[in-house]
Amino acid sequence: MRIGAFSVTDVETFIWNDAAFDSLVMEDHLKHTLGTLVQAYGRRIDDSGFDDFIKHKGRGLIGLLFGKPGLGKTFTAEAIAEMAHLPLMTVSAGRLGSKPDEIEKNLRSTLDLAAHWRAVVLFDEADVFLAARVATSIERNAVVSVFLRELEYFPGIMLLTTNKKDLIDEAFHSWSTTLVQH
């Protein structure tokens, strides 16, 4: 544990942009479904009810936002965080490293921090973590496996963006709560 001293003289209450979600440009039924999922997740955060057969597994809300560049995938993640009144933590693949063991360590610490702060996690351009596994690339397969294992135990809201939906590993679909095309 690290301890630090901080000046809190100018700390102010954060003001959430509740209109951000309403300004999303997407079909009404899709926006309603997405909003309902996030609100239902918010009510479930402190629920001490059923926790699956394996403790803490599958409690998160995992969403894949896909489509061409510039159509609002990142803004959708920002708007969801604003609507949920939760901080947004944006993570890039480069920040986590390039080797499977390095990625696993950095991913775990990143997700632990996000869970502690109850942050919405955005993996922008998450293609490297979602790529379909193939017999000829053991290292890539290891990266995808590590990522899938960590996301199935993440208790928060995790959103991933990609421009390449067709290249996603089939196993990811069983863990994603929602897919949103832009």
pLDDT in tens, 119-142: 999 999 888 787 777 778 788 778
Supply the pLDDT for residue 57.
55
Supply the pLDDT for residue 132.
75
Q: What is the mean pLDDT of residues 100-113?
A: 92
Alpha-carbon separation of residue 110 from 103, 105, 137, 162 (angstroms): 10, 9, 25, 20
Asked if 114 and 90 count as a contact pair (C-beta separation under 8 A), the reply is: no
Q: What is the mean pLDDT of residues 19-35?
A: 92
Supply the pLDDT for residue 136.
80
Mean pLDDT of the chain: 83
Asked if 90 and 130 count as a contact pair (C-beta separation under 8 A), the reply is: no
Indicate whether 116 pLDDT > 90: yes
Please give the domain boundaries of the chain with CATH numbers for all domains.
60-181 (3.40.50.300)
Q: Is 26 helix (H, G, I), strand (E, B) or coil?
A: coil
Q: Is 113 helix (H, G, I), strand (E, B) or coil?
A: helix
pLDDT tens per residue, range 74-88: 999 999 999 999 999
d(CA 86, CA 80): 9
Listed range (103-107, 112-116, 145-149) with the worst mean pLDDT: 145-149
Which of 100-104, 110-114, 134-138, 175-179 holds the top average pLDDT?
A: 110-114
Indicate whether 112 pLDDT > 70: yes
In degrees, rounded to 5, the angle at the alpha carbon of residue 113 between the alpha carbons of residues 173 and 2 is 160
**Measured torsion, CA atoms of residues 147, 106, 38, 43, in degrees rounded to the nearest 10:** 110
Which contiguous run of DSSP H or E holds residue 121? Answer: strand 120-123
User: What global pTM score does this model have?
Assistant: 0.81
Backbone angles phi and psi of 73, in degrees to 5: -65, -50
Using 50, 70 and 90 to split pLDDT, how confident is the model at 175? low
Alpha-carbon separation of residue 12 from 8, 9, 19, 83, 120 (angstroms): 9, 9, 20, 19, 21
Supply the pLDDT for residue 45.
53
